[in-house]
Amino acid sequence: MGQNNKIAFHPISTLTGECEVPGDKSISHRAVIFGSISKGITEINNFLPGLDCISTISCFQKLGVEIKQKTSSTVIVKGVGLHGLLEPYDVLDVGNSGTTIRLLTGLLSGTKFYSVLTGDSSIRKRPMKRVKEPLQQMGANLMGRDQGNLAPITIIGAPLQPMHYHSPVASAQVKSSILLAGLWVDGQTVVTEPTKSRDHTERMYTSFGGSLHVDGNTVTILGGSPKLEGQKVNVPGDISSAAFLMVAASIIPNSEICIRNVGMNPTRSGIVDALLAMNADIEIINERKYGEELVADFIVRSSNLIGTEISGDIIPRLIDEIPVLLIAATQAKGKTVIRDAKELRVKETDRIQVMHDELLKLGVITIPREDGMEIDGEQEFTSGTIYTHHDHRIGMCFAIAGCVAKGPIFIEDYDAVKVSFPNFTEVMNSLGAICE
């Protein structure tokens, strides 16, 4: 492990200032995807230059799309149209990105060519059955390890049929994978979810000129190779990245920060609701439309948090923020209970187990459950060393913990944060964090 792959976050007495977080990861992926399958130029501003989104760019370059990063966060895509994608000359490597592998499996299922998708050791453990089964029902010809349930996934493009899929999980990756496959279908593709998951695919498809119908938790798309046109996409700041700063300002005493231009899509804003339920001091100002999305500025001040229960329909609206909510819960008065969040077990890591194990290294006790966790508040972090298991969100959780610990927290494999928040250290430093 290189020297700069381990870092220490030290306790601090205040977090103050103004900042922005980088562009939304989910929206950045989709802007590259829709830009590639549209005709004409797509300009993406405030693109997230995180490793996951760079993986999406590199996959589409191998599929014959010209994509240039004018600056790290300004991307120009020369769209080739759905039928202009070319058989890739090599295996498509999605790196650490679950979104890329699930969405591309759907999109590539309807081509006329052969392609193979793989990724890092975490990706090769993550379930692909959730997209493989519905896509096979549509006629997709997919193979992979463990009877097609694990990457590497081989796709032999095939004609696809209309389908109404009732998804057992509320997953935007499953929904989007099927909808992207549905673009090839002569007829309707319908997806119904148990609870509504993030709807960035639906919003962006519409802004590129596609038409679909949303009725509650059901989305219907009329395929047959729609005519999509390149667009200018302005990506809002990622609320999942802002979540780390919101929790930090809430638990570090004497803090007041302003985070500008944060995405406030209602299918993503569960973190705000959960923190408000915990008595956080969050002021939401300048709420405004931002293309198809909503953004706002957040003022967050320190507060005396109280424990809460987080379960049910809110879970898909804050699934990636649960690890950092656990950090907030350690500093709250009373118990916090997380339920209905079994999905955490199939993310970059098993985030229930990893949070339990790494918190324990710092003297914080939790009770892991199959679908969540129980955690008592008013627990102190001792100084110590934790390991990210190459999960970006785990790394950032413990950076925040270090700010309120009794002594420094050392984070091994810290580079993982580059997956979604490449300038996390710089932003934290600008607000007064001490790390080295």
Ligand X SMILES: O=C(O)C1=C[C@@H](OP(=O)(O)O)[C@@H](O)[C@H](O)C1
Binding-site annotation, residues for phosphoenolpyruvate: 25, 98, 126, 173, 351, 393
Q: Is the Cβ of residue 252 or residue 399 nearer to ligand PEP in the bound state? A: 399
Decide if residue 320 touches ligand X (CB under 6 A).
yes
Binding residues: 25-26, 30, 98, 126, 171, 173, 320, 347, 351, 393
Q: Is the Cβ of residue 241 or residue 366 nearer to ligand X in the bound state? A: 241
3-state secondary structure of 297: strand
Q: Is the Cβ of residue 12 or residue 243 nearer to ligand PEP in the bound state? A: 243
Decide if residue 100 touches ligand X (CB under 6 A).
no
Q: How far is the CB of 377 from ligand X (least distance, A)?
A: 26
Decide if residue 420 touches ligand PEP (CB under 6 A).
yes
The tokens describing 430, both together, are: 């600008």
Q: Cα(376)–Cα(250) distance, rounded to whole angstroms?
A: 17
CB 46 within 8 A of CB 23: yes
Q: Cα(66)–Cα(75) distance, rounded to whole angstroms?
A: 11
Decide if residue 33 touches ligand X (CB under 6 A).
no
Among 238, 297, 320, 358, binds ligand PEP (CB under 6 A): 320
Decide if residue 241 touches ligand X (CB under 6 A).
no
- Name residue 247's amino acid: V
Decide if residue 118 touches ligand PEP (CB under 6 A).
no
Return the residues of window 254-313 that contact ligand X according to CB under 6 A: none
Half-sphere exposure of residue 104: CA atoms within 13 angstroms, side-chain side: 35
**Interface region with ligand PEP, contact rule CB under 6 A, candidates 96-104, 156-164, 194-202, 252-260:** 96-104
Decide if residue 352 touches ligand X (CB under 6 A).
no
Among 98, 182, 236, 237, binds ligand PEP (CB under 6 A): 98
The tokens describing 128, both together, are: 């692909």
Among 97, 171, 388, 423, binds ligand PEP (CB under 6 A): 97
Q: Taking the alpha carbons of 357, 358, 362, 365 in that order, is the dihedral positive or negative?
A: negative
Q: How far is the CB of 176 from ligand X (least distance, A)?
A: 6
Decide if residue 26 touches ligand X (CB under 6 A).
yes
Q: Cα(244)–Cα(262) distance, rounded to whole angstroms?
A: 13
Q: Is the Cβ of residue 176 or residue 231 nearer to ligand X in the bound state? A: 176
CB 320 within 8 A of CB 262: no
Half-sphere exposure of residue 84: CA atoms within 13 angstroms, side-chain side: 19
Site string for ligand PEP, 253-292 (x = CB under 6 A): ----------------------------------------
Phi-psi domain of 257 (left: phi exceeds 0; alpha: psi -120 through 50; beta: other): beta
Q: Is the Cβ of residue 26 or residue 46 nearer to ligand PEP in the bound state? A: 26
Among 295, 315, 319, 416, binds ligand X (CB under 6 A): 319
Residue whose CB is nearest to ligand PEP in the complex, by number: 98
Return the residues of window 343-382 that contact ligand PEP according to CB under 6 A: 347-348
Q: Cα(183)–Cα(417) distance, rounded to whole angstroms?
A: 34
Q: Cα(417)–Cα(332) distance, rounded to whole angstroms?
A: 26
Q: Cα(354)–Cα(285) distance, rounded to whole angstroms?
A: 35
Q: Which of 425, 410, 405 is nearest to 6 (CA)?
A: 410
Burial (0-12, 13-18, 19+ Cβ within 10 Å), 218: middle
Catalytic status, residue 415:
no
- 297 interacts with, out of ligand X, ligand PEP, none, CB within 5 to 8 A per kind: none
Neighbour tally for 1: CB within 10 Å: 9
Decide if residue 173 touches ligand X (CB under 6 A).
yes
- Name residue 89's amino acid: Y
Decide if residue 99 touches ligand PEP (CB under 6 A).
yes
Written as one string, the DSSP assignment of 118-150 is E--TTGGGS--HHHHHHHHHTT-EEEEHHHHTE
Size of the residue set binding ligand X (CB under 6 A): 11
- 171 interacts with, out of ligand PEP, ligand X, none, CB within 5 to 8 A per kind: ligand X
Residue whose CB is nearest to ligand X in the complex, by number: 26
Question: Among the options 52, 199, 238, 320, which is catalytic?
Answer: 320
Phi, psi dihedral angles at 125 (to 5 degrees) = -105, -15
Written as one string, the DSSP assignment of 380-425 is PPPSEEEE-TT-HHHHHHHHHHHHHSSS-EEEETGGGGGGT-TTHH
Q: Cα(248)–Cα(414) distance, rounded to whole angstroms?
A: 18
Residues involved in catalysis:
320
Chain residues in the site for ligand X (CB under 6 A): 26, 99, 171-173, 176, 197-198, 319-320, 343
Chain residues in the site for ligand PEP (CB under 6 A): 25, 52, 97-99, 320, 347-348, 393, 420
